Structure 1
Amino acid sequence: MRAAVLEEHGEPLSIEDVDAPDPDPNGAVVDVEACGVCRSDWHGWQGDWGWLGIETQPGQILGHEPAGTVVAVGEEVTGVSEGDHVAVPFNLGDGTCPECRRGFSNTCENVMPLGFVEFVQGAFAEQVHVPFADHNLVELPEGVSSVDMAGLGCRFMTSFHALAHRADISAGDWVSVHGVGGVGLSAVHIADALGANVIAVDLDDGKLETARELGAAETVNAADADNVPGEVKAIADGGADISMDALGIQTTSANSIQSLGTRGQHLQVGLTTEDEQGMIQVPSDAMVMQEIEFIGSFGMPPTRYDEIFRMVSTGKLRPEAVVSETIALEDVSDTLAAMTDYETDGIPVIDDF
């Protein structure tokens, strides 16, 4: 099968013919019909996250937002069949650890980050193997396309879990989203669907216009603002109720926290780069005095995807609205390079392998 293979960090991926996977006894093989290209792939391509123990190595197939059709299952698989149309979460769980048994498989004690470590090769390929298929694969509703659902395995569901499960959103709350790439635009759309008033913050007018189309009530161009938190507080009558750093750099994290009002909630969704290496300074005194909560949020348990699907069925959520373009496998390296300078918009999706 054809796959885009990492040869050297920051260098173009090699399009190669590699062996197609066979299913483990508990696994399944999915014919990849679409796969999003995510900023997390950019992190892997850059060689980030060694401080998390998941630095990608040469030979790795990246890609962690696939949707497609099951073409083979292992002998121990009972809940998944050939022909099922599925999405694949990026944070694969084993289904048996205490976290998984409590319903928190996104924080599985043996989490397997799809496409970032050798034993779970990714989906920038014609096929991908998914371990513990009964636990990890999510059957898609009838009538949806793989391209429309490609961001579901990471960016869209990550934003949904953060806003719907980790934060306390009430109707009319002010939610500010700092950085409106794929995660941020998904967050804007989801927060609007949950009844919030959304303020989108970014450096790019084009991305801010897309955020308005997806439901942002107000926007702030951080390149033009002398004081981003001050701008957000002025709009939100004293401060946002909930704020999200969807990028993962010092500036956006600090701006997000400082945009909050008293007893606000900061959602840290973006993971850091080589510059921060997992350590970001926070305004701790202000957080103490304002009783601000700092909340981390990672992925989403696949058992709760039905919440998204119910909102999709009524038109309240449209994951396809965040898909910005479709590309071929040969275009992945150029797309990753464009992410270095934040030149991509929304979710680019591979649909030609």
Structure 2
Amino acid sequence: MRSVVLPGNSTVEHVTRDVPEPGHGQVLLAMKASSICGSDIRAIYREHLGRGPEAYQGVVAGHEPSGEVVAVGPGCHRLTPGDRVVVYHIAGCGMCEECRRGYLIGCTDPSRAAYGWQRDGGHAEYLLAEERTCLLLPEELSYVDGALVSCGYGTAYEALHKLDVSGRDTLLVTGLGPVGLAAAQLARAMGAGPIVGTDVVRERLDVAVELGLVDEALPADGAADERLTRFTDGRGFSATLDASGSAAARHLALSHTARWGRCAFVGEGGEVSFDVSHLLIHKQVTLHGSWVTSIGHMEDLLGHLARWEVHPEDIVTHRFGLADAAAAYDHADRGTTGKVCIVFP
């Protein structure tokens, strides 16, 4: 089967692998969509970080897969050929405390393996998956919708869930990359508003406005602080979310969290320093760290999306076939697009 691996140094390599056969508790998927995550760019495509859960082991890339079941192994009880599924992108041990809570992302066992990082992922014609990591994709949603849920939208939803976002809230999203766009789209469906987004990239501000995901899109420049203060009459936002990982954006989010408000840090990497008393303690702010989501919350999200008639694929600005994976990664690496997705016939 045609497959893609990421050697590092901002390159893509096409390889041929045997089509795997499902073992006990496993299913074989014909891939239909496999989107590119910012973590793939940061920690594999540009440079192999090689530490902990981000250790890339030369496997088929792609940790946001969605496809059709074409074969099942012995011991499978839930899925049958023809089922449309989303793959939660971590296969945990199933026994540790985090796995039992549904947070396979936090599995503490050495057997933990992420699709596209430590075991073969979705940038191939077929994917061998553990049945326990597969979720049924509602008929109302496309395979591209499903691929985006498998990491990015699940990550955004988890943060909004922690923030308990509802129609009572105003929301600030700092960083309008794919996760920030997802957070804005989901928060709108959950009733929040007005929603304001900031970013240093003009093209991403334009995407957010064109899709109607935000009520105001502000450049993250030297005037952003004053504009946000003016927008809320100095009261701040009841909920804020940083999806950038930038120290400046994290500080901006905390600075404009209202008294008794809630803030979530989602963007990976980097550091931030701030006046704890002024921005956190004296304002009685609750600060959340949020990493991906649980498999239960991801299943909930799929149901919500179908009910809300919300389609994650709306934020996909570029689609490529597997043969054009190099161009797909090049576009994603530019940081000026919405979501980039590899699609299959």
Same topology, TM > 0.5:
yes
* Paired residues for 1:12-31 under 5 Å: 12-31=11-30
**Residue aligned with 1:28, SS:** strand
Query: Corresponding residue for 1:128?
Result: 127
Deviation at 1:299, TM superposition (A): 1.8
In structure 2, runs of 5+ residues without a counterpart are none
Q: Does 1:280 align with 2:272?
A: yes
Identity level (%)? 26
Deviations 1:244-267 (A, max 9, x none): 111212222222222212222221
Which of 328, 332, 338 does residue 346 from structure 1 map onto?
A: 338
CA distance in 2, matches of 1:53, 1:280: 22
* Paired residues for 1:188-337 under 5 Å: 188-197=184-193, 198-212=195-209, 213-222=211-220, 225-237=221-233, 238-272=235-269, 276=270, 279-285=271-277, 286-337=279-330
CA distance in 1, matches of 2:318, 2:97: 40
* Paired residues for 1:130-149 under 5 Å: 130-131=129-130, 133=131, 135-149=132-146
Contact between 1:35 and 1:349, CA under 8 Å: does it hold in 2?
A: yes
Query: Corresponding residue for 1:162?
Result: 159
**Residue aligned with 2:11, SS:** coil
| Code of the aligned partner of 1:2 | R
Contact between 1:148 and 1:323, CA under 8 Å: does it hold in 2?
A: no
Query: Corresponding residue for 2:47?
Result: 47
**Residue aligned with 1:299, SS:** coil
In structure 1, runs of 5+ residues without a counterpart are none
Residues 233 and 90 of structure 1, relative CA distance in 2, 3 Å threshold = farther
Deviations 1:56-98 (A, max 9, x none): 24x3321011111112222122112222110112233333322
CA distance in 2, matches of 1:51, 1:3: 24
Deviation at 1:49, TM superposition (A): 4.5
- TM-score using structure 1 length: 0.88
Deviations 1:96-136 (A, max 9, x none): 3222323444433344322112xx111111111213x1x21
Contact between 1:37 and 1:332, CA under 8 Å: does it hold in 2?
A: no
Query: Corresponding residue for 2:100?
Result: 101
CA distance in 2, matches of 1:281, 1:129: 43
| Code of the aligned partner of 1:350 | I
Query: Corresponding residue for 1:175?
Result: 171
CA distance in 1, matches of 2:169, 2:49: 34
Contact between 2:189 and 2:308, CA under 8 Å: does it hold in 1?
A: no
| Code of the aligned partner of 1:290 | K
Contact between 1:193 and 1:316, CA under 8 Å: does it hold in 2?
A: no
CA distance in 1, matches of 2:276, 2:324: 43
Contact between 1:156 and 1:186, CA under 8 Å: does it hold in 2?
A: yes
CA distance in 1, matches of 2:143, 2:260: 40
| Code of the aligned partner of 2:312 | P
| Code of the aligned partner of 2:294 | P
Contact between 1:233 and 1:260, CA under 8 Å: does it hold in 2?
A: no
**Residue aligned with 1:6, SS:** strand
Q: Which stretch of the first structure deviates more once superposed, 28-37 or 204-213?
A: 204-213
- TM-score using structure 2 length: 0.89
Residues 200 and 295 of structure 1, relative CA distance in 2, 3 Å threshold = same
CA distance in 2, matches of 1:230, 1:49: 38
For the aligned residue pairs, the C-alpha RMSD in angstroms reads 2.2
Contact between 1:160 and 1:190, CA under 8 Å: does it hold in 2?
A: yes
Deviations 1:265-305 (A, max 9, x none): 22111112xxx3xx433442322222222211122222233
Contact between 1:47 and 1:55, CA under 8 Å: does it hold in 2?
A: no
Contact between 1:179 and 1:202, CA under 8 Å: does it hold in 2?
A: yes
CA distance in 2, matches of 1:90, 1:14: 22
Residues 291 and 50 of structure 1, relative CA distance in 2, 3 Å threshold = farther
Deviations 1:29-67 (A, max 9, x none): 21111111121111221235545452324x332101111
**Residue aligned with 2:116, SS:** coil
Deviation at 1:159, TM superposition (A): 0.7
CA distance in 2, matches of 1:215, 1:86: 27
Residues 233 and 92 of structure 1, relative CA distance in 2, 3 Å threshold = farther
Deviations 1:3-22 (A, max 9, x none): 11122x12321111112222
| Code of the aligned partner of 2:212 | L
Contact between 2:63 and 2:115, CA under 8 Å: does it hold in 1?
A: yes
